Chains A and B, each alone.
Chain A
């Protein structure tokens, strides 16, 4: 009996245990599956309030009452979902968040209530948050979004509706001078700032026209980057976004009341057109329309005091705070050296407007006009940096010389009176140099001239290919090749000349002999003459054509002449000659025939000779 009950109890225990474990698991699962949290972050003076739901299915989000805050932007909704497969294990996470940017309206402990959101068929509620707002916590915050030409874009979902008016209170530009009372030639900084009420989406600000500061020397201070950095400020209970548009440094050139005229700007404000549906809005730049508004800064009056009279003699016109230093550049100074004496004026004030002070060099020096280099940058107190004056001079004789102290009178704005700066006098020991007057002229010409300009790619001569460059293996091989080629040519030439000379000499000698013999045998008569002529010709042609005695028949000679390539008229003449001579053996020939044969024989010999010595 006892066992049965105990078994029953134990079983129910197990079931209960199992059920509770399962319930716990389920709840934890549910808890881990769905969570709605709220958190607040301090971002540079204002607060980012984020509500996060760990599910991508969120609807009817109701924010808490944010009456103690000014809602600068929000709610911005974003969903996040990810699926990961790591080492065979799959994990899936997703979330939806609602973000507000808030600015507290008062200091102290402020409470943000709970927000509700619906997901699936459950309603989630976040926990309330307590925030401690500290006074003066509004430091600069870069709230600028995408902009061009000095623009600061606001979040589009906080823009005004299209058609709503943009009053002076919504958007205005003001100018702040760094001081209103100053001396003439003293620097004053003018800062132009644009103020846009939170809720007015200022997209772009541009100068309508560049300002014309008459009678005043002005310089614009370039602002870093293209965007305006905006800060949040409170003014008369309204929160504004403020940014610096322009800064000018001015040096008034005359005394009295100087009025800086108003400068007008063209501003573009984005206004939302919620009447457009989503598709139209997408294609029309998010449904915002740019409205052009003109705004002008107010005119500023400055009281410019004249510098106290009487002005001291030698007043340079410089106003500010300065220091002066003089030095001779280079090492030892020699005669006919072109030496530079450098005066450096450092400080801040109207540096650019200062002319080079006069330096009284010794009379025997050749002096030239001073060259001014400025290394200044704009600062709120005017221009600060260095003005470098280079005085060139050429000493011609040795000895000790002194460059006297240079005086510089300026007006110190801080002290309100004129100050005099003096450099130290410098002694120069001029040594004997080796340069001549022409060297000096050349150097002076060099100093006065400008450098030569850049070259284009086409100007460069083509570099030698690598195989022709000195020191390379192919370079020396080229030498060897040339040498061998020349030697080869010479050797071949020698061989040819030797071959030809031998031949030529023999042939020309034979021709000469034949001609002499022909002229000698004219005395002979009848057959003897013809036979002699034939003999002479055969002998000559045998030598000429390198024939053996046996080959010296008429046919053999004719063949040889043809092989030599003699012109056909010569061959014909030779043939006729032999024919006549042979006929003379059997029949007596006339006198004309004898002379004809004589001329023929001579012509054949000369033709052959001419043919070879071509």
Chain B
């Protein structure tokens, strides 16, 4: 009787989870899809922008990432490459595992003017970094939790088992799972910090780069549209200190720079 009740409960919960309520702005997204396929890219972009502003959508990170990806596609088709880069970066910030957004970002980058060499790093470190950045902090958190549960299970088996070989194996598994869980916690923390504190920005139009934040100085270099920079300081009014992908830092004026996420501004 109890068993039957618990089965019923499980099934009903699964049903609730599967048959999710219709998404907010479902009809707008469908219409935008139709517009996109009919090459009406401006209208599609406008509809997607409306969807993005709804609070119900803004709370769902994966849906928001999807919308930004679609908006990026619209802008790419309209040849607004700087806006496309901005949309793709926003999508990747929300969902780092979005493979299509990463590909399309590369595709658009191939059409831009600026090209930077990545700073030199040990291949192992860069491989680790790219693995770390490939998932969101939520995913790493789930992995950490899962491995923690596995380690607890192994602990249970270790304590409960009678045979020595089983106990030894279970102990090793428990320790390994615990260590991996710790590693995934570190990954999750790193991604969490990056999500909340890494302030990326996109150059929207050709910008002059200065050594000091004074307009009277002569510009030493220039950044072209579509380049992604990291904002280091925003303490000066109308100036940002930015770092370009190869590590050099410049001071640029605010108007031509668009932030990927305003809440990350230092």
In the complex, A285 has a CB within 8 A of chain B? no
In the complex, A546 has a CB within 8 A of chain B? no
Q: Which residues of B contact A449 (CB under 8 A)?
A: 107
Q: Which residues of A contact B205 (CB under 8 A)?
A: none
Contact between chains at A446 and B20 (CB < 8 Å)? no
Most buried by A among B100, B108, B115: B115
The 5 A-B pairs at the shortest CB distance, nearest first, are namely: A470-B141, A452-B100, A486-B152, A470-B188, A460-B66
Contact between chains at B66 and A455 (CB < 8 Å)? yes
From A447, A454, A470, A494, B192 is in contact (CB under 8 Å) with A470
Interface range on chain A (Cβ under 8 Å from partner): 35 or more
Contact between chains at B73 and A454 (CB < 8 Å)? yes
Contact between chains at A451 and B192 (CB < 8 Å)? no
The 0/1 profile, CB within 8 Å of B marked 1, for residues 437-453 of chain A is 00000010011010111
The 15 listed contacts between A and B (C-beta, < 8 Å) are A330-B115, A338-B110, A443-B110, A451-B108, A457-B26, A463-B138, A468-B138, A469-B141, A470-B141, A475-B141, A482-B148, A482-B152, A483-B152, A486-B153, A493-B159
A455 closest partner in B (C-beta): B66
Query: What is the minimal beta-carbon distance from A280 to any residue of chain B, in angstroms?
Result: 43
Query: What is the minimal beta-carbon distance from B105 to any residue of chain A, in angstroms?
Result: 10
Query: Whole-angstrom distance between the alpha carbons of A69 and B69 in the complex?
Result: 65
Query: What is the minimal beta-carbon distance from A73 to any residue of chain B, in angstroms?
Result: 40
Query: What is the minimal beta-carbon distance from B56 to any residue of chain A, in angstroms?
Result: 12
Is the contact region of chain B dominated by helix, strand, or loop, or is it mixed? helix
B187 closest partner in A (C-beta): A470
Query: What is the minimal beta-carbon distance from B161 to any residue of chain A, in angstroms?
Result: 11
The 0/1 profile, CB within 8 Å of A marked 1, for residues 102-118 of chain B is 01101110100111010
In the complex, A434 has a CB within 8 A of chain B? yes
From A456, A478, A483, A494, B159 is in contact (CB under 8 Å) with A494
Contact between chains at B145 and A478 (CB < 8 Å)? yes
Query: Whole-angstrom distance between the alpha carbons of A454 and B159 in the complex?
Result: 52
A442 closest partner in B (C-beta): B106
B181 closest partner in A (C-beta): A479
In the complex, B61 has a CB within 8 A of chain A? yes
Interface range on chain B (Cβ under 8 Å from partner): 35 or more
A486 closest partner in B (C-beta): B152
From B107, B115, B144, A470 is in contact (CB under 8 Å) with B144
B141 closest partner in A (C-beta): A470
In the complex, A359 has a CB within 8 A of chain B? no
From A457, A479, A493, A494, B66 is in contact (CB under 8 Å) with A457
Query: Whole-angstrom distance between the alpha carbons of A434 and B104 in the complex?
Result: 24
Q: A451-B76, A475-B141, A482-B149 are in contact. Are A463 and B62 (CB under 8 A)?
A: yes
Query: What is the minimal beta-carbon distance from B193 to any residue of chain A, in angstroms?
Result: 10
Q: Which residues of B contact A469 (CB under 8 A)?
A: 137-138, 141
Query: Whole-angstrom distance between the alpha carbons of A315 and B138 in the complex?
Result: 63
Query: What is the minimal beta-carbon distance from B39 to any residue of chain A, in angstroms?
Result: 13
Q: Which residues of B contact A461 (CB under 8 A)?
A: 62
Q: Which residues of B contact A452 (CB under 8 A)?
A: 73, 100, 103-104
Contact between chains at A457 and B23 (CB < 8 Å)? yes
Contact between chains at B63 and A463 (CB < 8 Å)? yes
Query: What is the minimal beta-carbon distance from A472 to any residue of chain B, in angstroms?
Result: 9
In the complex, B175 has a CB within 8 A of chain A? no
Q: Which residues of A contact B26 (CB under 8 A)?
A: 457
Q: Which residues of B contact A443 (CB under 8 A)?
A: 110
Query: What is the minimal beta-carbon distance from B248 to any residue of chain A, in angstroms?
Result: 12
Query: Whole-angstrom distance between the alpha carbons of A479 and B33 in the complex?
Result: 42
Contact between chains at A457 and B63 (CB < 8 Å)? yes
In the complex, A129 has a CB within 8 A of chain B? no
From A446, A456, A462, A464, B106 is in contact (CB under 8 Å) with A446
Query: Whole-angstrom distance between the alpha carbons of A497 and B36 in the complex?
Result: 67
Query: Whole-angstrom distance between the alpha carbons of A329 and B106 in the complex?
Result: 18
Interface residues of A in 529-563 (CB under 8 A from B): none
Query: Whole-angstrom distance between the alpha carbons of A456 and B141 in the complex?
Result: 27
Contact between chains at B29 and A457 (CB < 8 Å)? yes
A483 closest partner in B (C-beta): B152
Q: Which residues of A contact B33 (CB under 8 A)?
A: 454, 456
B20 closest partner in A (C-beta): A462
B84 closest partner in A (C-beta): A451
Is the contact region of chain A dominated by helix, strand, or loop, or is it mixed? loop
From B29, B117, B153, B160, A456 is in contact (CB under 8 Å) with B29
Q: Which residues of A contact B148 (CB under 8 A)?
A: 479, 482
Q: Which residues of A contact B153 (CB under 8 A)?
A: 486
In the complex, A31 has a CB within 8 A of chain B? no
The 0/1 profile, CB within 8 Å of A marked 1, for residues 131-169 of chain B is 000000110111011001100110110011000000000
In the complex, A471 has a CB within 8 A of chain B? yes
In the complex, B65 has a CB within 8 A of chain A? yes
In the complex, B230 has a CB within 8 A of chain A? no
From B108, B156, B189, A486 is in contact (CB under 8 Å) with B156
Contact between chains at A463 and B103 (CB < 8 Å)? no
Query: Whole-angstrom distance between the alpha carbons of A602 and B63 in the complex?
Result: 73
From A338, A462, A483, A493, B62 is in contact (CB under 8 Å) with A462
Q: Which residues of B contact A479 (CB under 8 A)?
A: 145, 148
Contact between chains at B110 and A447 (CB < 8 Å)? yes
Interface residues of B in 61-112 (CB under 8 A from A): 61-63, 65-66, 69-70, 73, 76, 100, 103-104, 106-108, 110
Contact between chains at A475 and B145 (CB < 8 Å)? yes
Query: Whole-angstrom distance between the alpha carbons of A478 and B144 in the complex?
Result: 12
A446 closest partner in B (C-beta): B110
Query: What is the minimal beta-carbon distance from A531 to any residue of chain B, in angstroms?
Result: 41
Contact between chains at A451 and B69 (CB < 8 Å)? no
Q: Which residues of B contact A225 (CB under 8 A)?
A: none
In the complex, A19 has a CB within 8 A of chain B? no
Interface residues of A in 392-426 (CB under 8 A from B): none
The 0/1 profile, CB within 8 Å of A marked 1, for residues 1-31 of chain B is 0000000000000000000100100100110
Interface residues of A in 21-59 (CB under 8 A from B): none
Contact between chains at A463 and B107 (CB < 8 Å)? no
Q: A469-B138, A490-B156, A490-B160 are in contact. Are A451 and B62 (CB under 8 A)?
A: no
In the complex, A459 has a CB within 8 A of chain B? yes
In the complex, A489 has a CB within 8 A of chain B? yes
Contact between chains at B115 and A460 (CB < 8 Å)? no
Contact between chains at B107 and A455 (CB < 8 Å)? no
Query: Whole-angstrom distance between the alpha carbons of A494 and B161 in the complex?
Result: 11
Q: Which residues of B contact A483 (CB under 8 A)?
A: 152
Q: Which residues of A contact B20 (CB under 8 A)?
A: 462
A494 closest partner in B (C-beta): B159
Query: Whole-angstrom distance between the alpha carbons of A454 and B23 in the complex?
Result: 17
Interface residues of A in 312-347 (CB under 8 A from B): 329-331, 337-338
Query: Whole-angstrom distance between the alpha carbons of A493 and B156 in the complex?
Result: 10
Contact between chains at A471 and B141 (CB < 8 Å)? yes
Query: What is the minimal beta-carbon distance from B155 to any residue of chain A, in angstroms?
Result: 7
Most buried by A among B30, B106, B144, B159: B159
Query: Whole-angstrom distance between the alpha carbons of A454 and B29 in the complex?
Result: 11
Q: Which residues of B contact A463 (CB under 8 A)?
A: 60-63, 138
Query: Whole-angstrom distance between the alpha carbons of A588 and B63 in the complex?
Result: 93
Query: Whole-angstrom distance between the alpha carbons of A139 and B112 in the complex?
Result: 49
A434 closest partner in B (C-beta): B117
Q: Which residues of B contact A475 (CB under 8 A)?
A: 141, 145
Query: Whole-angstrom distance between the alpha carbons of A455 and B142 in the complex?
Result: 25
Q: Which residues of A contact B61 (CB under 8 A)?
A: 463
* Further 9 A-B residue pairs, CB within 8 A, beyond A337-B115, A455-B70: A329-B113, A452-B100, A455-B66, A456-B33, A457-B29, A457-B63, A462-B20, A486-B155, A493-B160
